[in-house]
Amino acid sequence: MSDPKMKLNDVYETAKEQDKTQLCRFMRDMKRAGLKQRVYHGNLSWSGPAVVCEDVAMVLSETKVPCLSVKKGERFVVYPKQGL
């Protein structure tokens, strides 16, 4: 589980250290696509990068990493299945 005050750079470095290749790839794919990421703490013990969006399919079209999504109000949070 990650520190709630982690920044995206910390998440990426921790993921690299822990050999979380899918998480790193998701972050690189989202950056390349110009999609804003944030650190997300989901259900159970999942934490890592996520994109808040209105169109899940648009986010998924930018990566081949298996992802999950959850509806939060009028928007969705899309994040890789692999977390920290």
Q: Which helix (H) or strand (E) holds 37?
A: none
What's the pTM value of the predicted model, to 2 decimals? 0.91
What is the per-residue pLDDT for 43? 73
Instruction: Answer yes or no: are the C-beta atoms of 51 and 30 closer than 8 Å.
Output: yes
Please provide the DSSP assignment of 49-82 as one string.
Answer: EEEEES-HHHHHTT--S-EEEEEETTEEEEEES-
Give domain limits for the chain: 8-80
Average pLDDT, the chain: 93
State how far the Cα of 17 lies from the Cα of 34, in Å rounded to an integer. Answer: 25
Ordered alpha helix ranges (H), 6-48: 8-17, 21-33
pLDDT tens-digit readout, 35-68: 999 999 887 788 999 999 999 999 999 999 999 9
What is the per-residue pLDDT for 46? 86
